[in-house]
Amino acid sequence: MSRFARKMKAPEGFEYIEPVLTTLEEELREKVNEPHEGKRKCESLWPVHQINWQRSRYIYDMFYIYKHISREVYDYCIRMKFADAALIAKWKKPGYERLCCTFVINQKNYKFGTTSICRVPKQYLSKGTIVEDVTTGCMGCASGPGGQRNIFGNKYGQYLAAIQVEREAAAERAEEAGEEAKTADDYGTVWAVSEAEANLAPHEGGQETG
């Protein structure tokens, strides 16, 4: 039995997203417990912030973008803190749609009352400027043209809901064509297994690009 079921009875439909949430929970535990030798102190915490973003984004996209989970399931995820409610609240505001973490917009956390460099739109940065927030490892989460699609530049910046939905669509197309459809076990991972999957984002192919 997963830790989710032990805490509180999950509503019907939660089983649809539980495998991905379980994988992310296990990944987080592994990253927290792995040796940190050779890493800066702040860098060792990057996976914590990044997996929090990815897990919250997955739940957000499944509810608000793809409508694949119910309000009851979404609210359950918020209550159980599987998703970061404060971060999601910011995503709903213009200009914060891809925000990596609420820490980076708190001016008290930065000198001169500013915010993190990852919040500066790409068009306002000098050519060749390297963007990397020291707290989260974010490479740029500001809205606007030319923005970083994968804000962390690794698998934690991938949009897992988009990947899951596309795999389900591919399975349906295969079945319609009389071909054998791939299952989740065939992929072996919730993260992208191809460049095409890695480039998927919410609302792509009739959905909004992120």
Average pLDDT over residues 197-209: 66
Confidence band (pLDDT; 50, 70, 90) for 23? very high
Please count the helices (runs of H) and the strands (runs of E) in the chain. 8, 0
User: Which of 195, 111, 197, 103 is CA-nearest to residue 141?
Assistant: 103
Task: For the chain, give the percent of residues with pLDDT over 90.
Answer: 77
Q: Tell me what pLDDT residue 4 has.
A: 54
The neighbour count for residue 65, using CB atoms within 10 Å, is 19
Q: What is the pLDDT of residue 143?
A: 87
Give the single-character DSSP code of 9.
P
Pick the residue with more confidence: 55 or 111?
55
Cα diameter, the chain: 62
Burial class (CB in 10 A: 0-12, 13-18, 19+), 103: middle
- Name which of 36-50, 82-96, 108-122 the model is least confident about: 36-50
Q: pLDDT class for 210, splitting at 50, 70, 90?
A: very low
Q: Mean pLDDT over residues 85-105, rounded?
A: 96
Tell me the DSSP string of 160-189. HHHHHHHHHHHHHHHHHTTPPPP-HHHH--
Tokens for 106, please give them: 């708190």
pLDDT of 110 strictly over 90: no
Average pLDDT of 14-36?
A: 95
Predicted local confidence at residue 41, as pLDDT: 74
**pLDDT tens for each residue of 28-80:** 999 999 887 767 777 889 999 999 999 999 999 999 999 999 999 999 999 99
Mean pLDDT (the chain) is 91
Given pLDDT bands bounded at 50, 70 and 90, which one contains residue 2?
low
Lowest mean pLDDT among 9-13, 35-39, 76-80, 86-90: 35-39
Reduced to 3 states, what is the DSSP secondary structure of residue 188?
A: coil
Q: Where are the chain's structural domains?
A: 3-198
